[in-house]
Amino acid sequence: MNKAELIQVIADKVGVKKVEAEKMVSTFIDVVTATLKKKGEVVLTGFGTFSAKKRAARVGVNPQKPTEKIKIAATTVPKFKAGKTLKDALK
């Protein structure tokens, strides 16, 4: 399912116009992104937790020249941990 399909399903289930559902999805994405930028986390009980994780700098291998080592800078990456209800639903 892509973003457009998600918007259509939300519009149908909630009974709102597609434009309003698109605003809901966009707002959710904006709020999660802003919270993660501030080093916070978004917890949706039963569904899961969105958080930001720091990845340390490390030495990697150049895929074009496997004998050559390259430095990979430290970075912050998004992380999602599924909640119990979601895990149980997929069993």
Q: Which tens digit of pLDDT belongs to each residue from 58-83? A: 999 999 999 999 999 999 999 999 99
Distances (CA, A) of 42 to 5, 23, 36, 86, 88: 23, 19, 8, 16, 20
What is the CATH topology of the domain spanning 42-84?
Answer: HU Protein; Chain A (4.10.520)
Q: Where are the domains of the chain?
A: 1-38, 42-84
* CA pair distance 48, 43, nearest whole angstrom: 6
- DSSP codes joined into one string, 51-80: EEEEE--EEEE-SSSTT-EEEE--EEEEEE
Strand, helix or coil at 2? Answer: coil
Q: What confidence tens digit (pLDDT) does each residue in 16-72 have?
A: 999 999 999 999 999 999 999 999 999 999 999 999 999 999 999 999 999 999 999
Closest by alpha carbon to 47, among 79, 86, 78? Answer: 86
